[in-house]
Amino acid sequence: MSIQKALPCVLSVSLLALLGLLGMASGNLELTYPWSTKAPMPTPRNHISLGVVNGKLYAIGGSRNANVSTRVVEVYDTASDTWSSKGNTPEVGCCRATCVLNDRIYVFGGQTTVEGFISSAAYEYNPATDIWTKKADMPTARSVMSAGAVDGKIYVIGGAIEHVAMAFKTVEMYDPATDTWQKKADMPTARFGHAVSVVDGKIYVFGGAVDVSLDSLTTVEAYDPAMDKWTAKTDMPIPVFGLSSAVVAGKVHTLSGGNRYT
């Protein structure tokens, strides 16, 4: 499985996303190559989304602070270690789910600020033309969720209405070919701030949190889209919220995050 197939469907940018693309990531930090500092992102922000298309990383939206989100889109070229600006997102937002499919970047939900309006909006971005296109809204408005693509369909999983600490088990499938949504089997564990990776046609969900006041989760669950069925997997060694994941040589590697939401 290629990195591009598994890595783009992430909640937010982390160093792992960049290192995974460059073939540097490893679960126990025994790296194939040494760590190195790359050109900084021009616009400082957090809770951003990431899509990887043709060796370039697209950093989308995000928050400057709890009250100010942005529409900024900046692309990082791994070959030249340079950044450039692209067309802004149609709406300000942070805490979105993002997924790449057929060289298009799909952006779902999120919120206007860290404690702002929760969105159900869906957009498609074409890096070749630098054009955003509005798509059918998600049935369930939410933020801080993740997404994974299998067989041409995108599965948006979990999430929350973050500022009221309401986590979702919800799974909804988006079909870009028909611009339609379909409800799928709920995830056994309601959560947000989790990581998602795809291996061999199955979607694996790692960690996250159920409530802002509780410890993070060690829970790992796998979803089989062909069977519309969830299966419990071995827990992670430590509870982690806000983590990222990437697939390298058929194995999922997770990095960063924390034990508590706050």
210 part of a folded domain: yes
- Tell me the per-residue pLDDT of 7-37, one tens digit each, with 9 for 90 and over: 334 333 333 333 333 332 333 334 455 788 9
Q: Per the domain annotation, does 262 fall within a domain?
A: no
CA nearest to 261, candidates 217, 196, 197, 195: 217
Contact 76, 59 (CB under 8 A): yes
Does residue 200 fall inside a structural domain? yes
Is 260 inside any structural domain? no
Q: pTM value?
A: 0.85
pLDDT score of 39 = 95
Query: Of all residues in the chain, what percent carry a pLDDT higher than 90?
Result: 61
* Residue 87, pLDDT score: 94
**Domain for residue 116, yes or no?**
yes
Distance CA 51, CA 65 (A): 22
- What would the mean pLDDT of 116-144 be, rounded to a whole number? 95
Indicate if the pLDDT at residue 219 is higher than 80. Answer: yes
Burial class (CB in 10 A: 0-12, 13-18, 19+), 8: buried
- Total number of domains in the chain: 1
Residue 231 domain-assigned? yes
**Integer angstrom CA distances of residue 90 from 25, 74, 249:** 33, 14, 36
The band of 241, judged by pLDDT with boundaries at 50, 70 and 90, is confident
Condensed to tens digits (0 to 9), the pLDDT of residues 191-205 reads: 999 999 999 999 999
Compute φ and ψ for 175, nearest 5 degrees: -110, 105
Ranking 141-150, 190-199, 211-220 by mean pLDDT, the lowest is 211-220
Average pLDDT over residues 59-85: 91
Residue 22 maps to a domain: yes
What is d(CA 27, CA 218) in angstroms, rounded to the nearest whole number?
16
DSSP state of 241: B
15: domain CATH number is 2.120.10.80
| Domain, as residue range, for 111 | 3-255
